[in-house]
């Protein structure tokens, strides 16, 4: 995921504060926890890990189901916090809250079966693989899905018997504190989920602390590599999700109306600030004109404005830096000869020029060349890159011609083409005739610079387990 703060040990990072992206207003700021507070929380986490590891599946399940009920009962209020802190349209924020509740319920209902001892045929009276908790897991999470990113880490962690320390992004502190309070109100013992309001300069010492067993991070490639190095030096397990440049491939047999409509949604939801957003639209020349007309029309018609207005489809970007990065990438492409088919400009928000907010119009660019920033950087905003290719071979070459390998979407009704792209796309996920989404049932993660390991599903449950072999003579 682009634009998450870099994780360098000498840099304390941005201030911990809630700034409303709609108008740039500072709503609340927080002092980072001092060393004594961090130490106290580490000690509480270590004690909780010892006790929670001995809890039953029924106790763990009851905790997540109660948390789900609280999310559902307080859905509009919780969504209001999310929209105010990071700007996504209120309808999308409500959808994120509901998705977290659904995810909690799924793990509550399925984890015990997925963690059951496996009997293995060996030359012994009994061979088993059993799954046991590791202890304290440090989660370094981003702002773009500030509830769901945490839910997909903490739900499997809790069901395994681990506990969590949450170092959230500095611009969503209210959401971070809300999550800690949610678990306490759901009946979690002290220390099962604690928030750490800290700067990035405090992270390396926590990773190195012997009470922390493992680390998970969703963030930029730079942040992930820094954390991986720190965790590796301490011999700690890591799971990393580091963003993507997902292809959206349209072949001649595709349903163009549906592909274009879903393509717009896949590019502009959350103002395009999603790791698995469709970013590169790779279209066969035989249908390029027809798809482009529909897609550009849809992107140009997407309504930009107040995220609390039900008609708004695209809210503000998270902050001025994120908006300015997107604007600079587009201007670089324009200056080097790219064609802007729609958009390509900042937008003044609903409160006018004195409080313009961080808005950018949905944009489609074509005619990219390798020297343009958009050709090599993750484009983390409502900007689509449109490529026209001669055939399936070229579509695969363009799709795989990136350092990233997170998600991918291919549109074709030809079964042979479907199977070829499933086999040959360099990605952790391939969605055929649909946009890439995360769901509890399927593993989530990527290859190449998109990360290490998997979240969600049985695979996410097993990532932070001691997978223990048992042999009895």
Tell me which residues are annotated as active site: 241, 275
- Among candidate residues 2, 34, 3, 28, the one with its CA nearest the CA of residue 15: 28
Pair 285, 388: CB distance under 8 Å: yes
List the one residue out of 39, 40, 42, 48 whose CA is nearest residue 161: 48
Burial of 323 (0-12, 13-18, 19+ CB in 10 A): buried
Rg of the Cα atoms in the chain: 22
End-to-end CA distance of the chain: 49
- Do 410 and 251 meet the contact criterion of CB atoms below 8 Å apart? yes
d(CA 454, CA 473) in angstroms, rounded, equals 34
193 sits in the region (left: phi over 0; alpha: psi -120 to 50; else beta) called beta
């Amino acid at each position: 995921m682009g634009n998450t703060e870099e994780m360098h040990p000498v840099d304390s990072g941005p201030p911990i504060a809630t700034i409303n992206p709609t108008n740039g207003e500072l709503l609340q700021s927080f002092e980072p926890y001092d060393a004594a507070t961090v130490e106290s929380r580490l000690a509480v986490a270590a004690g909780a890990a010892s006790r929670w590891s001995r809890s039953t599946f029924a106790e763990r399940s009851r905790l997540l189901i109660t948390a789900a009920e609280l999310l559902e009962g307080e859905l509009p209020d919780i969504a209001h916090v999310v929209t105010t802190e990071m700007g996504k349209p209120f309808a999308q924020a409500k959808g994120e809250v509901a998705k977290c509740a659904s995810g909690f319920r799924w793990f509550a209902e399925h984890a015990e079966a997925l963690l059951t001892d496996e009997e293995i045929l060996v030359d012994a009276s009994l061979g088993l693989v059993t799954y046991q908790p590791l202890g304290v897991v440090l989660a370094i999470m981003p702002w773009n899905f500030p509830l769901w990113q945490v839910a997909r880490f903490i739900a499997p962690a809790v069901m395994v018997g681990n506990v969590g320390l949450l170092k959230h992004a500095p611009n969503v502190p209210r959401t971070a504190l809300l999550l800690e309070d949610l678990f306490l109100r759901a009946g979690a013992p002290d220390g099962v989920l604690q928030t750490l309001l800290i700067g990035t300069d405090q992270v390396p010492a926590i990773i190195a602390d012997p009470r922390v067993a493992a680390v998970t991070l969703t963030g930029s490639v730079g942040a992930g590599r820094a954390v991986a190095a720190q965790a590796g030096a301490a011999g700690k397990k890591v799971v990393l999700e580091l963003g993507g440049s997902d292809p959206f491939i349209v072949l001649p047999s595709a349903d163009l109306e549906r592909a274009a409509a879903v393509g717009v949604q896949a590019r502009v939801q959350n103002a395009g600030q999603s790791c698995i957003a469709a970013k590169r639209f790779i279209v066969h020349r035989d249908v390029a004109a027809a798809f482009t007309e529909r897609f550009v029309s849809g992107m140009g018609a997407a309504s930009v404005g107040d995220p609390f207005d039900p008609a708004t489809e695209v809210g503000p970007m998270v902050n001025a830096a994120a908006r300015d990065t997107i604007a600079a990438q587009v201007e670089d492409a324009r200056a080097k000869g790219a064609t802007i088919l729609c958009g390509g400009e900042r937008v003044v928000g609903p409160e006018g020029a004195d409080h313009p907010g961080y808005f950018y119009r949905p944009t489609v660019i074509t005619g990219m060349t390798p020297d343009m920033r958009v050709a090599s950087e993750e484009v983390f905003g409502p900007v689509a890159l449109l490529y026209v290719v001669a055939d399936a071979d070229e579509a695969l070459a363009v799709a795989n011609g990136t350092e990233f390998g997170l998600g991918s979407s291919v549109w074709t009704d030809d079964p042979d083409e479907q199977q070829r792209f499933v086999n040959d796309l360099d990605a952790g996920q391939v969605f055929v005739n649909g946009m890439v989404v995360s769901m509890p049932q399927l593993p989530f993660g990527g290859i190449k610079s998109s990360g290490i390991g998997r979240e969600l599903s049985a695979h996410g449950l097993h990532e932070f387990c001691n997978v223990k072999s048992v042999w009895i003579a």
